[in-house]
Amino acid sequence: MILSIIVPVYNVEEYIRQCLDSLIEKKYNNIEIILIDDGSKDSSGIICEEYKNKFNNIKVIHKKNGGLSDARNCGIENSNGKYLMFVDSDDYISCEGIQSILDVIENNIVDVLMYTYYEFEKFNKFDEIFGKCTELNNGYYKINNIILSKILKNTSELWPAWKYIVRKDFLLKNNIKFKKGFLHEDVDYTARLISCMNSFYYLDEPIYYYRVNREGSIMNSKSVKSLLDTSKIIIDLKEFFDNNNIDNKIVKLIMDRLSRTYFTVLSLYSKGNYEEKKIIIKNIKENSYLLGSSTSIKHRIFSIISKILGIRTVLNLYTKVLI
């Protein structure tokens, strides 16, 4: 088995058929599709069983709700493929996407493969391609600091886990799993992938269609938890880098991207109530080094002025301007 496609499923009865149809549009003997029904309360689980009964390469696991990370980890544990792919059940794959992936992983031994994607809404598809690395050509790369620097500095939308095909034994060797109970778990997962990988394939082709602005999506959950989880993830990653002797130049580049993510989440400050704002300010004060890790001039100015005027004042000004 060359490829396991892991699809976490939770209350997506309106979208899941489009997702699954894109995965089974062509028949492949060397892939499996693992559907993790994470305690769905609608007919999603029934639809999964319907597809399993029609296609012998589809496996369904029904489990108690544990969240996206738990469902993905369950898929990893129950996979048989040499390589793993993650697909969210409200998204879908291009008609030639799987074949393009197979062409790479059947002819290369690579830790991580990255491809690009489109975004779409219910009635609209967009022409812009996201997730490109502007400094790399299509092909295989042995990892060194120069290549990592190009990836980290020049890849838009770096973090989504579904952008990457990963060799399973590479994941297991480095004990990389999805962090349970956290928002933005993809940030933690992808940062570990990038810091540990020794080989990389850039597939400059939009394989994936990512649905935006879906009502009920985890990504639309805006709360103080988003900021607290992001800061905790970054703190844990810094400890991971230190314990695994990751090259300091690479750590600085990753921390720059992580800090920019932290600043993006700070935009939620204006949405919080009084108590939530107090928690956010306390979090920033306790983790002030996160502000200084970004190389963005705008973020550097924020960090400097906050030391003069105070974090609360600068945050009120900052969140009135788009980041």
Quote the pLDDT of residue 323.
Answer: 43
Closest C-alpha among 116, 89, 118, 84 to residue 22: 89
Quote the pLDDT of residue 320.
Answer: 60
Mean pLDDT by 10 residues, the chain (323 residues): 98 97 92 98 98 97 97 98 98 95 98 97 80 97 96 94 98 96 94 97 97 64 77 92 90 91 79 80 80 78 78 71 48
Quote the pLDDT of residue 300.
Answer: 78
CATH superfamily of 3-220: Spore Coat Polysaccharide Biosynthesis Protein SpsA; Chain A (3.90.550.10)
Quote the pLDDT of residue 280.
Answer: 82
3-state secondary structure of 48: helix
Quote the pLDDT of residue 161.
Answer: 98
Quote the pLDDT of residue 303.
Answer: 78
DSSP assignment of 183-245, as one string?
TTHHHHHHHHHHHH-SEEEEEEEEEEEEE-S-TT-GGG--SHHHHHHHHHHHHHHHHHHHHTT
Query: Is-contact 237 191, C-beta < 8 A?
Result: yes
Quote the pLDDT of residue 215.
Answer: 62
Quote the pLDDT of residue 222.
Answer: 58
Domain locations in the chain as residue ranges: 3-220, 224-318
92-96 contacts, C-beta under 8 A, 24 or more apart: 92/18, 92/19, 92/21, 92/22, 92/23, 92/209, 93/22, 93/23, 93/207, 93/208, 93/209, 94/22, 94/206, 94/207, 94/208, 94/209, 95/22, 95/25, 95/26
Residues contacting 96, CB < 8 A, separation 6+: none
Closest C-alpha among 65, 55, 64, 63 to residue 31: 55
